[in-house]
Amino acid sequence: MTRTIGTLLVFVVVLTACAPVALNAPIPTYDTGISPETWATIPAGEFLAGQFDVPTEIPYDYEMMVTDVTVAQYGVFLNEALSAGVLQAGDAEITVFYPGDIFRGARHELEIVAGQYVVIPTTDPASRFTFDGQIFHAMPGYENHPMTNVSWFGALAYCDAHGWRLPTELEWEKAARGTMGWPFPWGEEIARNQANFQASRDPFEDMRSLGSRTSPVGFYNGKTYDGYTTLDGASPYGLYDMAGNVWQWTADVYEDTHLRFMRGGSKDCYEMDLRVWASNNAVPSYYGPGVGFRCVRTP
């Protein structure tokens, strides 16, 4: 499969205060009522793909996680995989073996050979977990937030460990928009309290001091939290956070490029980049505080 690579847009968040962002400032804790252990079935059939609503068929049923993988879930995986020797701990990162990709020497293509590749950093202050050299723990308050600072290799390793996989871009898009051809998972427009995006003014964001932070998975479900009323942001199949909060890694490995692709937008994006057809890309070893993932499985 071939693909034309689009321009990667980088948005710089400008804080209104001169003080450094308080990465580890206390956060509110809410029970969203949405379990990260649940899955939704996306039925076989046709849907409208892309900005121009191209009729596209996925000829099989598949299941996708209702939420992104959480910090708590990923911590369990890290501890088990390290103990089993599947992952390796270095001085500043955890790595996993990857068998490499076919290399065709296309313009700007970088070769990804068989070897150990970064899963997560262990010393990055933006990570939402702690590591004492042996055991991972979720930072207090972040247990039910999406796992971030995880590379494509790290996302793939989690799904593989459970017998699952990352979604393709088409699988992700159908799960996000259903068959209606909407630009957002819930319809034609987006409201400030319907997703976690730049300047959404949610309880986890304070651009004067705290910066933009993730919200718990499934937070935008129509509930009210300490006076902050959310709108239900579920997709037609009942999936949450398919727009905003964190970008989500997808599975596709395209010819003539080493880049991997993400969907969904993040807490650091503006509304336009939360549209279901918007994509982002990075090298598979990239990790950041606005990037996470979820898995799919085929019954």
Domains, in order of start, for the chain: 64-297 (3.90.1580.10)
Render pLDDT for 207-246 as a digit per residue (tens, 0 to 9).
Answer: 776 678 999 999 999 999 999 999 999 999 999 999 999 9
Question: Per-residue confidence at 17, pLDDT binned at 50, 70, 90?
Answer: very low
Residue 284 has pLDDT above 50, yes or no: yes
C-alpha distance from residue 130 to each of 214, 275, 291 (Å): 17, 33, 18
Residue 21 has pLDDT above 70, yes or no: no
The mean of the pLDDT values for the chain is 92
Dist. CA 199–CA 192, nearest whole Å: 8
Mean pLDDT of the 244-266 span: 98
Question: Per-residue confidence at 24, pLDDT binned at 50, 70, 90?
Answer: confident
Residue 132 has pLDDT above 80, yes or no: yes
Mean pLDDT of the 99-115 span: 97
Residue 196 has pLDDT above 60, yes or no: yes
- Confirm if 294 and 156 have CB atoms less than 8 A apart: no
- Confirm if 150 and 89 have CB atoms less than 8 A apart: no
pLDDT score recorded for residue 69: 98
End-to-end distance of the chain based on CA atoms, in angstroms? 25
The tally of CA atoms less than 13 A away on the side-chain side of residue 17 is 10
Residue 23 has pLDDT above 80, yes or no: no
